[in-house]
A and B are shown apart, each in its own frame.
Chain A
C-alpha cells in the first residue's frame, strides 16, 4: 500500500480511538459510555486488520462486541440507572488521578518511542498456523485457560444467584 495512505489511515485511527475512549470515561449517561465502547472495540478490530491478524479481528468482534458488551448492556438494564444523573461523575481527587496518568504516560512514552524493528514483517498467514501453534506448543496454557473459563462460569452463576431471605 502507499505509505502516505497508510499513515493517513493510522492517524485517523489514533485520533478516533483516543476520542472514543475519552468519551467512555467522560460521558454522563452510562448507556452512552456503552455505545462509545462499542465503536471503540470495532476500531480496535480494524487496527488488528492492519497487523495481518484477521483471525483476531473476527474473535474481537465475536467475543467483545457479541459477548462482553451484551453483558454490560444487560447489567445496565438490570440495575437502576436513573439515579446516575444526580450523582457526581468523578471522585474528589480526580486531578491527582490525571496527574498520575500523565506521569505514567510520559514514562512509558520515553521507554517506547524509538523501538527498533527488524526488517522482516509477518507475511499473510493462514489461520491454521495459529491453530497448529496453539495446539502444539501452547497446549498446557490452553488447558489452564479452559479451567479458568470454567471457574469463571461457575463463580458467576453462584455470585449472581439470589440468596434466600434469612441468609442476608
Chain B
C-alpha cells in the first residue's frame, strides 16, 4: 500500500511548480493555468486525506474547490479579455496604468 506521505509529497511538488510558474511567467493566461495546477495539487491532498481517514468529507471539499476554481477561471479570463480588448496588454509587466 502506498503511504500517505507519497501523496502529500506529490501534492507539495505540484503546488510548488504551480507557484514558481505563477511567479516567473509574464503571460497572463499562463499565470491562470498555473493557478489551475495549484488547485489540482490541493485537490489531490484533499482526496488522499479522505482515503486515509476513511471519511467522505474530503471528497465534498474537493467538489467545493472545483466549483470555486471554475468560477475563478471564468472571472479571471473575463478580466484578461477586457484588459486585452481595451488596452492591448497581454503581459503582466506591461500593466503600468497606476504608475506616477
10 extra A-B contacts, CB within 8 A, seeds A3-B1, A53-B62: A6-B1, A10-B2, A24-B21, A25-B18, A25-B30, A48-B47, A53-B51, A100-B20, A113-B5, A156-B75
Q: B32: nearest residue on chain A (CB-CB)?
A: A72
In the complex, the number of residue pairs spanning A and B with C-beta atoms less than 8 Å apart equals 237
Q: CA–CA, A117 to B52, complex, Å?
A: 6
The answer to whether A18 and B81 touch (CB under 8 A), given A72-B29, A115-B4, is: no
B95 at the interface (CB under 8 A from A): no
Within 8 A of B (CB), among A122-161: 122-123, 125, 129-130, 133-134, 138, 141, 145, 148-149, 151-153, 155-157, 159-160
Q: Within 8 Å CB of A123, what residues of B?
A: 54
Q: Chain A residues near B70: list those with CB within 8 A.
A: 63, 67-68, 149, 152
Give the bracket for the number of chain B residues in contact with chain A: 35 or more
Contact check, A21 vs B63: say whether CB atoms are below 8 A apart: no
Chain B residues within 8 Å of A149, by CB:
67, 70-71
Contacting residues of chain A (1-48) with chain B, CB-CB under 8 angstroms = 3, 6-7, 10, 13-14, 17-18, 21-22, 24-25, 30, 33-34, 37, 40-41, 44, 47-48
Is B24 a contact of A75 with CB atoms below 8 Å? no
A contact residues vs B (CB 8 Å cutoff): 3, 6-7, 10, 13-14, 17-18, 21-22, 24-25, 30, 33-34, 37, 40-41, 44, 47-48, 50-53, 55-56, 59-60, 63-64, 67-68, 71-72, 75-76, 78-80, 83-84, 87-91, 93-94, 97-98, 100-102, 104-105, 108-109, 112-118, 120-123, 125, 129-130, 133-134, 138, 141, 145, 148-149, 151-153, 155-157, 159-160, 162-163, 168
